[in-house]
Amino acid sequence: MRRLLGIPVLLALALCACVTINVYFPAAEAREAAREFVEKVIGEEGDAPAPEAPPPGDGGMAVHRLRFDPFVLLGIGSAQAQDTPDITIRTPAIQAIQARMESRFNSVLRPHFDSGALGFVDDGTIVVRDASKLAIKDRVAVNAAVADDNRDRNAVYREIAVANGHPEWEPQIRQVFARQWIASARPGWWYRQGGAWKQK
Amino acid sequence: MPARILTLLLLALCAWPAQARTATARIGSLEVAGAELDGVVVRLSWPAGAAHGELSIQAARIAAPALGPEYRQVRWRCPLSHDGAGAWHCAGPLQGRGGARMHLAVDLSSVCTGARLSQGNARLQLRREAVAPDVTRLDLVRVPLLWAQALLQRAWTQASVGDGVADGTIVVHTPPRQPLHVEGRLDVDGLALDTTDAAVAVAGLDGAIGFDWLQPDTGPARIVASGEVRDGEVLVGNTYVAIAGRPAGFALEARQQADGGWRLPRLALRDGDALQVEGDASFAADASLRALSLQARSARLAALPERYLSGWLGLAGLSGLELDGAADATLQVSGGMLQALDARLHDVSMRDPRDRLRIEGLAGELRHRARGAAQGRLSWREGALYGLAFGAIELPLASRDGVLRLRAPASLPMLGGELRLLDFALDPGGAEGLRLGFGLELDGLDVGQLSAALGWPAFRGSLDGRIPQARYASQRLDFDGGLSMRVFDGRVDVSALSMERPFGVAPTLSADLSLHGLDLEGLTGAFDFGSITGRLHGRIDGLRLVDWTATAFDAWLHTEPAPGVRQRISQRAVQDISSVGDASFVGSLQGRLVALFDDFGYRRIGIGCRLANEVCRMSGLHSAGAGFTIVEGSGVPRLQVVGFNRNVDWPTLVERLAAAAAGDVAPVVD
């Protein structure tokens, strides 16, 4: 019986050994990259820095976990993060999308953020918040622009993750961007966080 | 407000003893014909001997639940006269708090009751003959539809009317102990309507409607209506219809259900040759669709994208899609899902405005069943995908339990060869959207035509391969198996092929390539890159094209001696390699002497490039001092090309490659 009791402990040790992850999500760099991207699209006026404090729950963006690694005892150290954490968003594809988003923002979307017809969502996309603020003819064009913009947004989040060699970072990159869109929103614009609409 | 309140006032008036000189009556509360009046003060003064008296009626509150909101501080003053034959006439201003000033004229006689409510050029006239007291006729002239707001909200709580006026006639039958019956015909001009959730919006709608509405006191209502729309815009969900001066007719019959929902046993739209729809539907009390069954026919599909589909196409990123041909379809929807679809296509063509996809001569029957099975067959005459033309295909299809499959392999002529679709399964209603799986075989596709279509250098060869399973889901297309390209007397194998967003934003393609024994003479000839003889081997791993431009790969290309193959490199190729690789010549040969020889023997060539973040990390056969050897010469004169710049800016490199291929390279000789 006593011997059996030891098994879970060994199992736990073994599990710890397996899940030691030493790949960092470069949260600070991602925030900076997102800030640069978002400000370029929205325009530089009124610098609004991204919120520094990560929200509770996900323990920040780093997936680095400090764990006891039993192999250390055997003299086998785990490999450290193989590449320096850095977020690159300067690939031609991403820059092309950024330029397109910037021109769409200025030509179509901005006035509707001003009027409150559009809002940012905490998954990094935008939605038509209040269609009654749009003339019926505009509604079709704005719906299409919102759909186009969200396609671009989703492609950007995906591309940044993949271009940096970590497709699995996509959800974290999306989150960083979602926070930045809201942080960079101008006073009076709307955003939805946790299901509730708020106005900056 | 108009009709019933007016009746009330008339009732009050009739009840009044006309002989009095000045009389005032205060009525705390009065309930007549479904309306409730509070704080009613009726005052009549008639100076002795005067031809007319003055009538003033005030009500602190008038509530007619059947007609909508309450009216407060309503006041009507008018000079009252009578002609001695028993006819009374009174006309004067009518005003309620917050409301616009109106004018109300009332005529009472033993023959008929008449009233006229007007405001500006809007006029609502009521008339009831004494011989037919159950029939009230309303004539409308430029009556603002806003007046009907309360009535509309009773049937459709979310809707609110904006602009618009109506002309026409409404006849109200109120036979005792029988259902209220309203029939009429109205011409509507510039109707604007919006719902609170913005799901439905109408602007500038011009049209005419004839209707017949039966409303029992207790029991479900029945409405039959038909008419036409001539101009304006209608937005329902994502369907946007711009009528734009091309009239369309409609007809519907609706019966209210016991649970508050509606059943529409008939629903029809007649829009010339663009669209003809007949069907029936039923809606729950909250206006959500319960079931729908439609037969639709379009003799001119070309009209549909602009007239009916623009909203949907915009959402799908397909604005500007062109359709042509004709189609008819029947469909059944219930429980929020498409249950059955039978579509027949007649010589349909579709063209994506951005030239991603074009299909011509699409014909046949497409059948889909959410439950059960059905068979269909589609074919097309020709088309093109990203500029790659393909020929005719016959697709025998079967639908079973919501999944559309290919019944037998189908072959598609393409690029001088054949592409065989082995199987195919399309599930349009998967949890993550559309899911598609298919198997492919490529047989003898002409690489020359492929190169020409994609704007590559003029490669020659053939492309073969087998992809036993490809899957599309969540914007990602993965291919099992691989392709093999026979080019330049050698072979390029493509494996680990996948695409993201194949038809979306910045489509990406990833693959691993391995090169086996490519004839360098042909290859350099195709690139117009000097001339090298020999056999090229190597690999390009992790190749990633975004928007069809290379953004990452890890390549290592090198020559391997082959029996009977001379290994020579031309003077121009040396210069081109040097210019591209920032290399210089070292070794036994003085740089200046290069120009004296037409070509050189070499032992081996090796060049590597690891592209990431727009920088190509170069490598060679081996290190040579601070640089790396790209070409190792043999014989006399012995040539050695050494690269020194290990990190090369990729766009610059591509530019130089293009320049080298175009022959615009000045020799860089140290």
- For residue A53, the model assigns a pLDDT of 40
Provide the residue count of chain A: 200
3-state secondary structure of B306: helix
* A83 has a pLDDT exceeding 60: no
Strands B535-546 and A126-128: unpaired
Q: Residue A148 sits in which domain range? A: 2-199
CB contact under 8 A, B549 and A92: yes
B30 close contact with A: CB closer than 8 A: no
The pTM for the full model equals 0.76
B615 close contact with A: CB closer than 8 A: no
Partner residue facing A151 (CB), from B319, B504, B508: B504
How far, in Å, CA of B390 to CA of B417, rounded?
10
Using CB atoms and an 8 Å cut-off, which of residues 16-45 of chain A contact chain B? none
Of residues B146 and A6, more confidence is placed in B146
Question: Amino acid identity of B623?
Answer: S
Residues 6+ apart with CB under 8 A from B563: none
Residues 6+ apart with CB under 8 A from A100: A152
How far, in Å, CA of B263 to CA of B331, rounded?
17
CB B249 within 8 A of CB B226: yes
Number of domains in chain A: 1
Contacts of B198 in chain A (CB under 8 A): 128, 130-132, 139
B319 close contact with A: CB closer than 8 A: yes
The residues pairing with B309 across neighbouring beta strands, listed in sequence order, are none
Torsion of CA B447, B354, A96, A54, to 10 degrees: -110
Partner residue facing B315 (CB), from A137, A147, A159: A147
B196 close contact with A: CB closer than 8 A: yes
Partner residue facing A88 (CB), from B311, B506, B613: B613
CB contact under 8 A, A92 and B506: no
CB B112 within 8 A of CB B129: yes
Using CB atoms and an 8 Å cut-off, which of residues 94-153 of chain A contact chain B? 96-97, 128, 130-132, 135-137, 139-141, 143-144, 147-148, 151-152
Q: Which tokens is B205 given? A: 């709608």
- Residue to substitute from B476, B546, B554, B617, interface A, most A β-carbons within 10 A: B546
- For residue B32, the model assigns a pLDDT of 62
- For residue A175, the model assigns a pLDDT of 94
Strands A190-193 and A118-121: parallel
How far, in Å, CA of B480 to CA of B471, rounded?
9
- Name the stretches of chain B with pLDDT < 50: 1-6, 13, 18, 20, 586-590, 665-670
The residues pairing with B220 across neighbouring beta strands, listed in sequence order, are none
Q: Which tokens is B327 given? A: 């189609």
- For residue A67, the model assigns a pLDDT of 35
- For residue B582, the model assigns a pLDDT of 60
- For residue B166, the model assigns a pLDDT of 93
Q: Which tokens is B445 given? A: 């596709």
Distance from CA of B307 to the nearest CA of A (A): 12
What percentage of chain A reaches a pLDDT higher than 70?
67
Question: How far are the Cα atoms of A127, A143, B319, B337, B476 from residue A148, in angstroms, in the given order?
Answer: 11, 9, 11, 26, 18
- For residue A196, the model assigns a pLDDT of 92
* A92 has a pLDDT exceeding 60: yes
